[in-house]
A and B are shown apart, each in its own frame.
Chain A
Amino acid sequence: MTTFKIKNRLAKDKLMLWSVCVLAAFTAVPLLAILGEVLLRGYDQLSWSFFTEPTPTAYKAMKAIEAGEPIPGGIANGIIGTMIMLGMAVIVAVPVGILCGAFLAENSKNRFAQVVSYLTDLLQGTPSVIIGIITYIWIVVPMKGYSAIAGSVALCIMMLPLIIRSTEETLKILPASLKEAGLALGGNKARVMLKVQLPAAFGGIFTGVLLAISRVIGETAPLMFTALGCSLIRFSIDKPISAVPLLIWEFFNDPNLQELIWGASLFLLLFVLTLNLLSKYLAKKWNQ
């Protein structure tokens, strides 16, 4: 073989390495661009009142814009709504998800468990907008109105498969000796699960829950047909309520409120990404 051909092949090899590096590095561009844009346009909106006051009406905002003043008000209604709905969703989804995950981990050979496992995948892959439709049909129609309950049901359904999976996977990688040791000491299965396996799996399950929260906290579509949104700070769970992503959607659609988009987005983005990084960090720490 000629040296020319070897040179040619080596050149191709180099080219491949460089294109892989360049193209891979390119994926950081949208992340930086999004972070940068949201930060630059949003940071000066963040103030104490932004977190303590509810959204202004379009009329008020219009007046402020006409007068050349900053738009009054903030996203407190959204933050409180998100917290209420998320709280209710977590209270239901975490225990149910852990129990269901424990069931899958203990009966992995069982036919029914395989069906449940498959359906968990199905649920996890279901587009969020469809979860919205379903919750509308199940909750909003019978209750004759949009409500925080409906919103939290939608979030709960989306969190469930994530928590089930992380519980199942964490329990499955625990050494079998752990469970056997517990059983050998005379504990029954329930006690061993509660006192030995679940505490040992705590780290994995906890990061799974954090990740599940970070996934659903930015969901907009399912809340549009369930929680609807509300410009007041509300604590009742049977009335329409707002959420941070819903507010962003409102601001996006209302020319008078558009200035508020970036502050709200910055808040949401920082919250989600912090949760994300935190769960990754904890997972790494607990895995050692």
Chain B
Amino acid sequence: MESVTPILEFKKTCVSYTKQTMAVKYVSAAIERNTITAIMGPSGCGKSTLLRAVNLMHNLYQNIRVDGGILLNGENILAMEPIDVRRRVGMVFQRPAPFPTMSIYDNVLSGFTLNGIKLSKAEKDVTVERCLRSVTLWDEVKDVLNKKGTFLSGGQQQRLCIARALAMKPDVLLMDEPTSALDPIATKHIEELLLELQKEVTILIVTHNMGQARRISSKSMFMYLGELVEYGDTEAMFSKPSDERTKAYLTGKMG
């Protein structure tokens, strides 16, 4: 048996907004490479807060403290430069928000422009096509690449945002309820896409939709009041939750 460093590992990770209250309490878990891990839990349980700790989003705001460790390929990201971490850990948000002043083409490349990386025209073309193909948007938009991203439908915009994150070739992709603002058809589309994408990137997805977690994830976390209650194979958790609280949540007895 060989020991592999997990791509991402939480080690007693804590996040606190004020001195008294902790939003995330001592979460420890190792995330396997090329899997989709769903984080579930009632609203306010700290699942988004945990997710946002992974790409140091909390550093943007004063008074939020992250303690413990979060290891990316064995390196503690809390000791790294945020801009370096964020380039290696992509993020997709709840509401699709392509940059309104940029074309579809430029939106895909926005990670490079924002980081001040210059690409040749050929490199740009290749990247745009690769990323848009991997989010299955290429055929829909290949003739309107110079239009503003905001002209697309909600589902298309969200796929554009995924493409934008993928362009940076991240190790991990964080998704914060990426389909909660979308209609069922667009949601299905994104779910199929994620199943494809796990071949190239490890995905950590926060969702309040149990069906979604079950459909796409191989591993699941259940969080409650800031604690990681249960973490394991999705199928096992849904069929035989080991904790009463998980059971209550999965059977709809808890918000």
Which A residues contact B (CB, under 8 angstroms)?
1, 5-6, 9-10
Residue contacts A-B, CB under 8 angstroms, 13 given: A1-B84, A1-B87, A1-B115, A1-B117, A5-B116, A6-B81, A6-B83, A6-B84, A9-B83, A9-B115, A9-B116, A10-B81, A10-B83
Which residue on chain A has the smallest CB distance to residue B80? A6
Main secondary structure of the interface of A (DSSP, over half): helix
Could you say which residues of chain A place their CB within 8 Å of the CB of B84? 1, 6
Interface size class, chain B: under 10
C-alpha gap A5/B81 in the complex (Å): 12
In Å, the complex CA distance between A6 and B81 comes to 9
CB distance from B123 to the nearest CB of A (A): 15
Please give, as numbers and ranges, the residues of chain A lying within 8 Å of B115 by CB-CB distance.
1, 9
Interface Cβ pair total, 8 Å cutoff: 13
Closest A-B pairs by Cβ, 10 of them: A6-B84, A6-B81, A9-B116, A6-B83, A9-B83, A10-B81, A10-B83, A1-B117, A1-B87, A9-B115
Q: What's the least CB distance linking B141 to chain A, in Å?
A: 28
| B82 nearest CB across to chain A (Å) | 10
- Measured between beta carbons, the chain A residues less than 8 angstroms from B81 are 6, 10
Task: Name the residue on B nearest A7 (C-beta).
Answer: B81
- Point out the residues of chain B lying under 8 angstroms from A5, CB to CB: 116
The answer for the CA separation of A9 and B117 in the assembled complex, in Å, is 11
- Determine the chain A residues whose CB is within 8 A of the CB of B83 once the complex forms: 6, 9-10
What chain A residues lie within 8 Å of B117 (beta carbons)?
1
What separation, in Å, do the CA atoms of A1 and B115 have in the docked complex? 10
A5 to chain B, nearest CB (A): 8
Q: For the complex formed, measure the closest distance between the CB of A21 and the CB atoms of chain B, giving whole angstroms.
A: 16
Q: Across the interface, name the chain A residue whose C-beta is closest to B82.
A: A10
Interface residues of B in 43-91 (CB under 8 A from A): 81, 83-84, 87
A7, chain B: closest CB distance, angstroms: 9
Distance in angstroms from A40 CB to nearest chain B CB is 39
Q: How far is the CB of A79 from chain B (nearest CB, A)?
A: 49
